[in-house]
């Protein structure tokens, strides 16, 4: 029986993994941006959505921005936040880039964009940060496989997806220090 215990554990672990969602999460950013100067943000208008998804995603983004020290403001925001909910298969052009944290801290300086093409199934959520003054896209994080119908979606599912996307954005507002989300 002791010899079968590891086998049973492996089988149970395999079945538990079958119901978990495997998201492809990545991000792209502009090499021309000084990310260390932004302090506040506001949202661009949300796409029309009659379900709770739009509200839940916007609340999750607000939470992630607040955790990074960014202030929501109507007056002169430095960043504009936009997001898209795409429920169909997506062909997407992304880039091979050093991590954003390495780029901002000048550990790795290679200003050549190396493109890569993706073909995502299961839909995706895209979160974009734009420079408010120039309207230039400076960062985009995305998760694909979000709307895979085979996976049961737990409570706060979209909040978890947005957090996973923002894990790709390790930066804090100008003058802010890292802190735990629970301290908010």
State residue 14's pLDDT score: 40
State residue 17's pLDDT score: 41
39-59 tens-digit pLDDT: 999 998 766 555 678 888 999
CA distances from 159 to 31, 34, 44, 128, 173 (A): 28, 28, 19, 16, 21
Q: Please give the Cα distance from 52 to 54 (Å, whole number).
A: 6
Q: Please give the Cα distance from 108 to 166 (Å, whole number).
A: 21
Q: Phi, psi (5° rounding) for residue 161?
A: -65, -45
Residue partners of 140: CB distance under 8 A and separation at least 6: 27, 28, 29, 126, 127, 128, 129
State residue 55's pLDDT score: 85
Helices (H), the chain: 5-18, 53-67, 100-104, 157-166
Residue 45's H or E segment, with its range, is none
């Amino acid at each position: 029986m002791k010899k079968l215990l590891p086998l049973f554990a492996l089988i149970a672990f395999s079945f538990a993994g079958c119901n978990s969602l495997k998201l492809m999460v990545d991000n792209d950013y502009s090499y021309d941006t000084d990310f260390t100067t932004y302090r506040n943000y506001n949202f661009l208008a949300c796409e029309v959505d009659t379900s709770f998804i739009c509200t839940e995603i916007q609340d999750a983004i607000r939470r992630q921005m607040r955790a990074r020290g960014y202030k929501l403001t109507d007056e002169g925001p430095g960043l504009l936040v936009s997001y898209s909910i795409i429920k169909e298969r997506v062909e997407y052009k992304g880039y091979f880039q050093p991590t954003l944290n390495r780029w901002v801290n000048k550990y790795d300086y290679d200003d050549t964009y190396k493109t890569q093409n993706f073909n995502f199934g299961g839909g995706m959520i895209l979160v974009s940060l734009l420079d408010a003054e120039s309207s230039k896209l400076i960062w985009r994080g995305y998760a694909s496989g979000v709307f895979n119908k085979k996976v049961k979606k737990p409570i706060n599912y979209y909040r978890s997806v947005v957090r996973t996307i923002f894990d790709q954005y390790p930066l804090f507002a100008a003058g802010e220090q890292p802190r735990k989300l629970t301290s908010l």
